[in-house]
Every structure is written in structure tokens, then in C-alpha cells.
Amino acid sequence: MTPRAWATGTLVVLLVLLAVFAAVTIPWHRPPAPRADQLAALGRLPAEQVARARQFHAELRPGSYGAMAVGLLVALVLGLTPLGAWLVTQGGRPFGGNWAGQAVLGGLLVTLAGEVVTLPFAAWQHTIVVRYGISTQSWGAWTIDLLKGWAVGAVIGAVALLGFYTITHFAPRWWWAFGAAGAAGLVVLLSFVLPVLVEPVFNKFTPMADGPLRTELLQLAERDGVPVRDVLVADASRRTTAVNAYVSGLGPTRRIVVYDTMLTEATPDEVVSVAAHELGHAKDNDVLTGTILGALGTAAAVIALYLLGSWAGLLRLARVDSIGEPRAIGLLLAIVSLAGLAAGPVQAFVSRGIEARADRHALDLTGDPAAFEAMQRRLGTVNLSDPDPPAWEHLLFASHPSTVERMAAARAYARGDR
């Protein structure tokens, strides 16, 4: 069998594994959240609060969708014209055109082009979130966080690109197999190390002071059978007024993290309710499930890229000889951008189901639907979430059920609807 035949067969196997694993692990049934209860919950929210949240999101949309459209356009221009190959060539010139220099510096030039072009949209959005009181950052602090994000992305991107093109350079016929295995391994590795190495770059974490709330959160985790290493407080207030909490890490790195803003804005019962939701993710191994799905999906994507990359028409547009050479980085990113756009609604749908299951877990664990509903109202109010967003936008992009959906689920639970 030829490498292409082996790649095709392996891709089919991976896609079957992905479909079976998704069918078994993803919650396809959503807890009841009747539309009548959603409308009743919406009617209980202050009209001025709802109007302000909707106006906030209306002002954000042009920047969000503008950045998405311009970013995609740049990716297509760099990938489907000789411009991307030219940029990569320029990036490799300080190293004498060496393939490794092209892979790292050329790759960073191509990705940086997209970041720079969409930067005005990010700055525009920053002015909006500051005006609405969601962001507490000055322009200096915002710029520092932006540069930190670029630096983290550059390090991860450089490692990924160098690893990928090292494989394609030394195994030009079978790089799809080694690349798929390496990409899957990188996804697993990042799931473990990102919470420990990257989160502290953006926030300072301190152990929650001893007291009733810390004790209750640890007891909640113990009762749920979810071992956590610690309860930490993130200094989110230096960046935002939004409230949140989450469970971070896998195995020995798992910890409950609470925003300091939540400790000042929410009641202890509400903090416990949102922590119970996050424990639900750990209890149902959602991070592990996402990691395995991501690893399988990434491995399949590398093989699909190998198969698609032999399309002569695409190579001719990009003026490259093979998708496996560094000069084709622009073409690679263009394909990835299109695939990501197509996969986005599916990922959003899956995420909403997982979040709804975690909501149900919180209700079961605490047995307090009133506190859960109060917490959702608090999250929506402080974070300026649109409580009932346009159906098309929610369907395509929302990673969580809407505020009124979650409030309706609590009301249905209180009635005994299961």
C-alpha cells in the first residue's frame, strides 16, 4: 500500500473512533428548560438591565464579526496567493533560507500578520468594555496582556511549527503518521501544563483564606468525590469586574479557582452553586473528554491536511511544491481557518450540552435551585450577558446556554421536571 492509501485508511479509523467516542461521552439530551419558563424569567429581570446588556452586545458585534471576517480574509490571501510563501522566505533569510528558520520565523511572520491586521478591532472592543465598566484595565495594562498573549502564542506556535516541519523534512513520505501522533500528544500535554504554566502569566493566584466558604467548597468537592488540590483566588479585579469561578487542571493539578470579584459581588450560596457547576465538569471528566476529542480531531486534521495538500490547484495558487514545506505555512493556516469556521457551530452545540449537564449536576449536588437561579441572574447582571440573545447567534457561537435557559432549567428542576 502507498502512504496515501495508509493515510486514507487511518483517517477513516480515526473518524470512526471520534464519532463513537463523541456518541458515548457527549450529553445529547438536554435537561428541560421550557420556553415558557424562559420568558417568565426574562420578564422578572429589570427592563433597563436587559436593554443595557443588549446595547452592550450590539456595540461589540461589529468589532467581533469584523475581526472574524478580516482575519479570515487575511488567511485566505496569505494562503491562496504567493504572498504567504514570500513572507516565509523573508523570515528564513537571516538563517540563510534554512528550512528551520523558515518554519519558525516565517511561520511567526505569517501568524503575526493576522494579529496585527485585527488589532484595531481588539482596541475598539476594549474601549467599549471599558465604557460599560466591564474592563478595569488601562491602555498600558491592556497592551501588556496583549503582548503576553502574543508571546505565549508565539512560543507554542514556534514549538508546533518546528516540530511539524522537522517531521515533514526528515520523513517526507510518512510525515502524516508522525505528525498526527505528535499533534495528538501536544494536545494532551497542553491540557496538563497550560493551567500550571500559562494561567499564572495573566493572573496571580493565592490560596483562599481559611473560613466557612473555603471549608464548604472543599467539603462540597469531597462529597462529590472530586479530589482538588486547593481553593485559589484569582486577582481578576485588576482586569475586569466580571465574576466567575472554574475548576482547573487534571489529576494532581486540579484546583477550584474563584475570581476575587465573585467574593465581593456574590453571596456564599451563589459561590457554592457555581463551584458545584464547575465540579460537575470534573466529575464527568469533561476536560479529559475534551482532551481526547481534541487529540483525535487534531490527528485526523493532520492526515486530512496531508491528503488535501496534494491538490495541485491549491499548491499552484500558493506557489509551493508541497504542503509539507515551510513555504506552505500560509496555505496550511488558510485551510485550518476555513475548517475552524465550519467546525465552530458544531463545537458550540457540543459545548452547550456539556454546560447544561454541569448545570444539572450543580442542582443535584446542592439541591438549591433558588441559589442556582440567583447565581445565573448575578452572572448575567454583572457580566452584562444578553439574557436571551438572537437565536441565530446563539446557535452559531454560544458555548453556554443563555441566562434565561439556565434560569428556566432551575425552575423546571424545582418543579421536579427531569
Residue pLDDT, tens place only, 178-216: 999 999 999 988 887 777 777 787 888 899 999 999 999
Sign of the CA dihedral running 30, 32, 36, 41: negative
Pairs from 207-215 (Cβ < 8 Å, separation ≥ 24): 207/231, 207/232, 207/233, 208/232, 208/233, 208/258, 212/268, 213/263, 213/268, 213/271, 213/272
Higher pLDDT, 417 or 13: 13
Task: Give CA separation, 260 vs 21, 92, 208, 235, in Å.
Answer: 37, 45, 10, 6
Query: For residues 83 and 15, what is the distance between their CA atoms, to the nearest angstrom?
Result: 33
Kindly state the DSSP code that residue 60 receives in the 8-state scheme. Answer: H
Task: Give CA separation, 276 vs 197, 255, 356, in Å.
Answer: 25, 13, 13
- pLDDT at position 308 is 86
Vertex 300, ends 297 and 304: CA angle to 5°? 135
Percent of the chain with pLDDT strictly greater than 70: 99
Q: Is the pLDDT of residue 56 over 90?
A: yes
Residue whose grid cell is 436593554: 51
CA terminus-to-terminus distance, the chain: 53
Please state at what angle helix 268-283 crosses helix 369-383, rounded to 10 degrees. 100
Q: Is the pLDDT of residue 250 over 70?
A: no
**CB-based contacts of 264, cutoff 8 Å, min separation 6:** 237
Closest alpha carbon to 247 in 222, 281, 214, 223:
281
Q: Are 371 and 277 in contact (CB under 8 A)?
A: no
Domain spans, the chain: 3-415
SS3 state of residue 232 = strand
Chain center to CA of 210:
32
Helix (H) or strand (E) holding 245: strand 245-248
Length of the chain: 418
Query: For residues 367 and 101, what is the distance between their CA atoms, to the nearest angstrom?
Result: 58
Burial 237-257 (b: 16+ CB within 10 A, else e): eebbbbbbbbbbbeeeebbbb
Query: For residues 71 and 337, what is the distance between their CA atoms, to the nearest angstrom?
Result: 9
* Amino acid sitting at position 360: R
- pLDDT at position 194 is 75
Task: Find the mean pLDDT for residues 153-173.
Answer: 90
Q: Is the pLDDT of residue 146 over 90?
A: yes
Q: What is the mean pLDDT of the chain?
A: 91
Closest alpha carbon to 248 in 231, 261, 265:
231
**CB-based contacts of 192, cutoff 8 Å, min separation 6:** 249, 250, 251, 253
Residue 135: beta bridge partners? 240
**CB-based contacts of 15, cutoff 8 Å, min separation 6:** 300
Q: Is the pLDDT of residue 94 over 90?
A: no
- pLDDT at position 197 is 75
Least confident of 28-32, 150-154, 198-202: 198-202
Query: For residues 269 and 297, what is the distance between their CA atoms, to the nearest angstrom?
Result: 39
Task: Find the mean pLDDT for residues 390-409.
Answer: 95
- What does the H/E/C string look like for 293-324? HHHHHHHHHHHHHHHHCCCHHHHHHHCCCCCC
Burial label for 414, CB within 10 Å (0-12, 13-18, 19+), is middle
Q: Is the pLDDT of residue 226 over 90?
A: no
* Amino acid sitting at position 66: G
Query: For residues 97 and 393, what is the distance between their CA atoms, to the nearest angstrom?
Result: 45
Task: Find the mean pLDDT for residues 321-342.
Answer: 92
- pLDDT at position 30 is 87
Sheet holding 245-248, edge to edge: 205-207, 231-234, 255-259, 245-248
